[in-house]
Amino acid sequence: MTTPPIEFVHRGQVVSLRNVPPTRTLLELLREDLHLSATKEGCGEGDCGACTVVLGEARDGGIQYRAINACIRLVHSIHGMALWTAQDLVADDGTLHPVQEAMVQCHASQCGFCTPGFVMSLFGVYQNQVCQGQTVTREAAQHALSGNLCRCTGYRPILQAAQTMAKLPPVRIDEAKVLQKLERISHNQRGLETASTYLAPRTLTQLLSLRAQHPKAQIVAGCTDVGLWITKQHRNFAQLLDITRVQELQRVERYPHHIAIGAAVTLADAFDALVQDRPQLRTFASRFAGLPVRNSGTLGGNVANGSPIGDSMPLLIALGANVVLMSQHGHREMALEQLYTGYRQNVMAPDEVLAWIKVPRPVAGEFSRVYKISKRFEDDISAVCLGLNLHIKDGKVRQASIGVGGVAATPVRALRTQAALRGQPWSQATVRRAMATLRSEFAPISDMRASAAYRIEVLGNLLQRFWLESQGAVALSLESPDVEALTS
């Protein structure tokens, strides 16, 4: 099979590469092939942020900048984009970029290994906020740096640097020139050779055709999980099918009763859409991995992956989400929880792809929350995730929808607990009975994240918390590293 060429803009020039293996990561390309060693290799799994770079993509007449992890991003996926690394920010005369100068002035670098990653995360903030005339708040800086874990210098000087960079003499990218080169790449698009090792369709019709021709090709999107199979399990794939360029699947479509989120929509954009309808989900969205992971990963990938500790599924189950599967023969729609048949197994046929996630919009009388329990507050996988959505009218539970993660081989719906709540008075007595039901409904395992007993106990406690919040009692431990109450 042929290996398609790759073109991207770097340092103002179009870089053309050939014969790059389909599983070659961007970090490997930078350090080993292009000898750009400022981008560091830390964890190799998208957790530490040492490898952070910024990608620019033409969008609505401008450039959208996203900080991503180079260690789990595949080289072929950046075709047609612009790339910036920590070595690209210094001016030709040696003048530091405001991001770098702020780090120096605020003494925000110690050993220096993690610094390039911090610089690039802040460079994304600089382009998206400072260059747009926006103020960088401490909260915005914390959000942007959620995927950069090393703190040997301490939090304060790094956050101070984030706020200081806007006060320094501005530096702007000539976006017109970058866009011109991106346009040139776009006009010179490579063909869709069906024997290619890296297939990147641009339309849904092309995607379904290629999936029918290559049912064994590994589907990839942001590679935030498949990337780990490559870097940690050393798995090799003869052929990859990348869905992220499919135009139809890049959209979020709003309808009167639901929103439809395309499988190629990034986690960052998908959660923005969900938060727009349900502001109480904002904190949960920010705790879903670090920002670079959310900038690469997709909601469709998270759902199709089917991990029992994938955080989006309990929430989507509670909200009553459906998934749409498509092939050349047509489409079928089902409740999200019906997609899974076992641990990381699903009902999709070899020629099918997950195309859309349909999420009902909120209705009057809805009270919903989602809780994540994890050892670290940010950038961590949950031990337990519980999503609840109740419709309460005249003091009674008219409808109950509950999704749970971390307690079974798949994300699950708490059917018995829903039945215990439905039609009952919304009272402490009802909640206590439902707590007992919820604790007995599942048989979780013990692992490095939590014991089975802990998970069972926490399930009931979270339902109690949900009851208290419904009565207006906001939990006192809002800053707890274990759990965050998601209040409107």
Q: Which residue has the tokens 């959209």?
A: 251
Final residue belonging to a domain, choices 167, 199, 222: 167
Q: What does DSSP assign to residue 449?
A: S
Handedness of CA 279, 280, 282, 288 (dihedral sign): negative
CB atoms closer than 10 angstroms to residue 45: 15
Q: Which residues pair with 199 in a beta bridge?
A: 241
Cβ partners under 8 Å of residue 319, min gap 6: 359, 360, 368, 387, 389, 401
The three-class DSSP label of residue 336 is helix
- Supply the CATH number for residue 97's domain: 3.10.20.30
The three-class DSSP label of residue 253 is strand
Q: Quick one: 126 and 30 in the same domain?
A: yes
Establish if 344 belongs to a structural domain.
yes
Q: Quick one: 20 and 147 in the same domain?
A: yes
Q: Quick one: 418 and 322 in the same domain?
A: yes
Q: Quick one: 317 and 455 in the same domain?
A: yes
List, for residues 308-335, the tens digit of each pLDDT value: 988 999 999 999 999 999 999 999 999 9
State residue 18's pLDDT score: 93
Q: What does DSSP assign to residue 476?
A: S
State residue 254's pLDDT score: 97
Q: Quick one: 22 and 136 in the same domain?
A: yes
Q: Quick one: 32 and 160 in the same domain?
A: yes
Backbone angles phi, psi at 226, to 5 degrees: -60, -30
The residue segments making up the domain with residue 69 are 6-167
The structural domain count of the chain equals 2
Final residue belonging to a domain, choices 167, 189, 208: 167
- Supply the CATH number for residue 255's domain: 3.30.390.50
CA distances from 59 to 25, 65, 77, 176 (A): 24, 10, 17, 13
State residue 436's pLDDT score: 98
Q: Which residues pair with 62 in a beta bridge?
A: 59
Helix crossing, 155-164 with 115-128: angle to 10°? 30
Establish if 163 belongs to a structural domain.
yes
Q: Quick one: 417 and 294 in the same domain?
A: yes
Q: Quick one: 288 and 418 in the same domain?
A: yes
CB atoms closer than 10 angstroms to residue 172: 9
State residue 485's pLDDT score: 36
Q: Which two tokens stand for residue 340?
A: 């899974």
Establish if 178 belongs to a structural domain.
no
Q: Quick one: 261 and 118 in the same domain?
A: no
Per the CB < 8 A criterion, the answer to whether 440 and 463 are in contact is: no
Q: Quick one: 431 and 297 in the same domain?
A: yes
Gyration radius (Cα) of the chain, Å: 23
CB atoms closer than 10 angstroms to residue 108: 23
State residue 473's pLDDT score: 64
Cβ partners under 8 Å of residue 447, min gap 6: none
Backbone angles phi, psi at 385, to 5 degrees: -130, 130
H or E element that contains 57: strand 52-59
Establish if 225 belongs to a structural domain.
no
Per the CB < 8 A criterion, the answer to whether 126 and 198 are in contact is: no
Picking from 387, 423, 160, the residue whose alpha carbon sits closest to that of residue 284 is 387
State residue 190's pLDDT score: 66
Q: Quick one: 258 and 154 in the same domain?
A: no
Picking from 420, 439, 419, the residue whose alpha carbon sits closest to that of residue 429 is 420
Q: Quick one: 155 and 272 in the same domain?
A: no
Establish if 332 belongs to a structural domain.
yes
* Rounded Cα gap, residues 401 and 418, in angstroms: 6
* Rounded Cα gap, residues 293 and 221, in angstroms: 12
Q: Which residues of the chain have pLDDT under 50?
A: 475-488
* Rounded Cα gap, residues 45 and 230, in angstroms: 10
CB atoms closer than 10 angstroms to residue 57: 14
Establish if 488 belongs to a structural domain.
no
Final residue belonging to a domain, choices 167, 182, 217: 167
Per the CB < 8 A criterion, the answer to whether 311 and 405 are in contact is: yes
